[in-house]
Amino acid sequence: MPMLALTLLLSVTSTASSMGIDNKIADVSPYGAVIMRSEKTKSAKTESLMHTNVSEDASSGCSPTTTPDKKAGDWEGRNWKLNKHPVQCGSGESLSQWRLKTTSRRRRCGWFSGGCHHAQRTEMQYQCCGVATENTCVSKSTSPNSDGNGGVVYMDRHKVRCQADSLIRDWKLVDLSGGKISIDYCCAKAKRSLTCRTTSTSFNSDGGRSWGGVIYLDRHNVQCRNNEGLQQWSMARSSNHKKMKIDYVCCTETPTPKPTPQPTPQPTAPPTDTPTVAPTESPTESPT
């Protein structure tokens, strides 16, 4: 270890100790940069989410699935790191909710990183409690487009969209060569006709930079109602390019109309009584 880096390490550790900061650890990179990082801690709520698969976002009677938490990359997360979080429902299912969640953060400082910034770990929570579908699905992909150096806002160039009779079963961001990304997804045909509605999350900050900022997706919970499946989703940006939201379409099975009752037959006219012949008033002549 270089003498200068060792000196810095001892100095930083001593300072942290004197300030009563016992949850910070000072690291020295191979290049001599001092990295301050927090010990990885998780709240009881996060631990409960990861180990029991229960969340406040879960629909009634529907438990979410959570991908393992992974490094989100520097500058508050790069978009290509989402390829570590595939959303995958099972055969005959459709996606009903997804949301990126931040599980921990640490502060990194170094001469070669341009100062200090926060590094994050994220996980993807999703639910497959939508409309029943066929067992097979049709694979689709958005067109490759620039990754914008990992900027979350560059995801607005990708629209995940199934046809009118189908719903999303899987989706995953793909890190392509040449600084491009795309989104692979699979559309499964619903077993019945669908009735759909369009909705969106609220506008919220995109992080204020043109690169990184993937953690800001955690402010958007793409969630359909009970008995609905997700058919489309895409990112939209505000007119001042400082905020973003997720537009999406949720569909439910179209109710089967009640059968038309059998027509009522023409009523039968009441029968007419046969009139009784009036008796002859004149008596019958006496026999001769």
Per-residue model confidence (pLDDT) at position 44: 33
> DSSP of 58-103, one letter per residue?
PPTT---EEPPPEEEETTT--GGGGGG--EE--TT----EEEEEEE
Q: Which of 63, 73, 38 is nearest to 127 (CA)?
A: 63
Would you give the DSSP letter of residue 194? E
pLDDT 10s digits, 245-258: 999 999 999 988 77
User: Which of 12-16, 56-60, 217-221, 264-268 has maximum average pLDDT?
Assistant: 217-221
Of 32 and 257, the one with more pLDDT: 257
pLDDT of residue 20: 38
Which residue is listed with tokens 């009752």?
A: 261
Range scoring the smallest mean pLDDT among 113-127, 226-240, 247-261: 113-127
CA atoms within 13 A on the CB side of 244: 25
pTM (2 decimals)? Answer: 0.66
Mean pLDDT over residues 267-284, rounded? Answer: 64
Residue 244: CB atoms within 10 A of its CB come to 24
Side chain identity, residue 138: V
